Amino acid sequence: MNIHHVKLKEILVAFCFLAPSLAGFAVFYLIPFGTSVLYSFQDRLTAALTLANYSELLSSLSFQKAAANTFRFTAISVPILVVLSLILAMVLNQRVFFRNWLRTAYVLPLVVPVASIVLFWQIMFDWNGVLNALLKYVGLSRIDWMKSEWSGSVIVLIYVWKNIGYNVVLFLAGLQNIPEQYYEIADLEGAGPARKLFGITLVYLTPTMFLVILMSVLNSFKVFRETYLIAGAYPQDRIYMLQHYMNNMFLSLDMQKLSAAATLMAICILVLVAVLFRTERMFRSFME
């Protein structure tokens, strides 16, 4: 009986510590999201439940363009970010010159305010910016970077620069947890660099790899801030994202379409996360 009382007391104490966080999460996340889902099924005039908002949303050319651009950006930028992060982490895991300084340099973008980041990239890619000045200096014509087909590449570059440090830190932690004896045994057996990479490094980095991919996918949906501040509310078609569409719906006070778009985006993110977790569990069971 005393043991049950002790466990109950511990549960109550734990709940008391968690209550403020749970209350804040409910007030600022769960309740607004639930309200948004309800709005997405309501008619604008009668407030009756309907699927018309989703039907209009899916048939909207602006939404189709924004959704296609968003998922295209994720499909292109995430693999680039993961591969570059892994390569840099493997380099920094060796005894290279200025290793500690390089580690610090890659983490700096995480702590730099977004406004400063935007100002830097505006100076680089503006019509009268640094890159166009260099092009003019070597005798080439200037490029309107943010209003041409180059705009997609610019946003990918900004996304990689902003998030690569976080992924490098995760990969470094994973690399340092791999026992050095495995590599020593592989050397004794005459294994080459490729065999050690695919037979040891990538195998034992699998949990870290899935975490990095997951965080990279989630961060790819946050690139709207930089895109909006650099290119505005109506950017070049190639970088018109889902968040641009939702922001424009908010400005026009079309809350039903805004809520429907946000709900569909949340569902897509949940599906992607579920697929990643399912793939990780299947890989772990296969390795065991």
Mean pLDDT value across residues 170-191: 83
CA 116, distance to chain mean position in Å, is 20
pTM metric for this prediction: 0.82
The angle that helices 114-125 and 130-137 make with each other, rounded to 10 degrees, is: 20
pLDDT, tens digit (0-9, with 9 covering 90-100), for 9-66: 888 888 888 888 888 888 888 888 888 888 888 887 777 778 888 888 888 898 999 9
Instruction: Give me the pLDDT at residue 3, please.
Output: 67
For residue 4, CA distances in Å to 1, 10, 18, 250, 286 come to 5, 10, 21, 52, 40
Number of H helices, E strands in the chain: 15, 0
Determine, yes or no, domain membership for 23: no
Instruction: Give me the pLDDT at residue 288, please.
Output: 58
Q: Which two tokens stand for residue 265?
A: 């985006």
User: What is the count of structural domains for the chain?
Assistant: 1
How far is 190 from 67, CA to CA, in rounded Å? 50
Mean pLDDT value across residues 61-87: 92
pLDDT, tens digit (0-9, with 9 covering 90-100), for 131-150: 888 988 888 888 888 888 88
How far is 7 from 10, CA to CA, in rounded Å? 5
Determine, yes or no, domain membership for 44: no
How far is 195 from 200, CA to CA, in rounded Å? 8
Residue 97, pLDDT > 70, answer: no
Confidence band (pLDDT; 50, 70, 90) for 231? confident
Determine, yes or no, domain membership for 230: yes
pLDDT, tens digit (0-9, with 9 covering 90-100), for 145-179: 888 888 888 899 989 988 888 898 889 888 888 88
Query: Minimal CA–CA distance to 236: which of 172, 109, 145?
Result: 145
CATH number (domain holding residue 177) = 1.10.3720.10
Task: List residues bridging with 21 in a β-sheet.
Answer: none
Determine, yes or no, domain membership for 8: no
Confidence band (pLDDT; 50, 70, 90) for 216? very high
Determine, yes or no, domain membership for 283: yes
Determine, yes or no, domain membership for 45: no
Contact assessment for residue 92 and residue 102, using Cβ atoms and an 8 Å cutoff:
yes
Instruction: Give me the pLDDT at residue 223, please.
Output: 84
Instruction: Give me the pLDDT at residue 273, please.
Output: 86
Mean pLDDT value across residues 227-250: 84
Determine, yes or no, domain membership for 33: no
Q: Which two tokens stand for residue 211?
A: 């975490």
Determine, yes or no, domain membership for 34: no
Residue 257, pLDDT > 70, answer: yes
Mean pLDDT of the chain: 83
Rg (CA), the chain: 24
Give the percent of the chain with pLDDT over 70.
92
Range of the domain at 256: 59-287
Task: List residues bridging with 265 in a β-sheet.
Answer: none
Mean pLDDT value across residues 87-104: 73
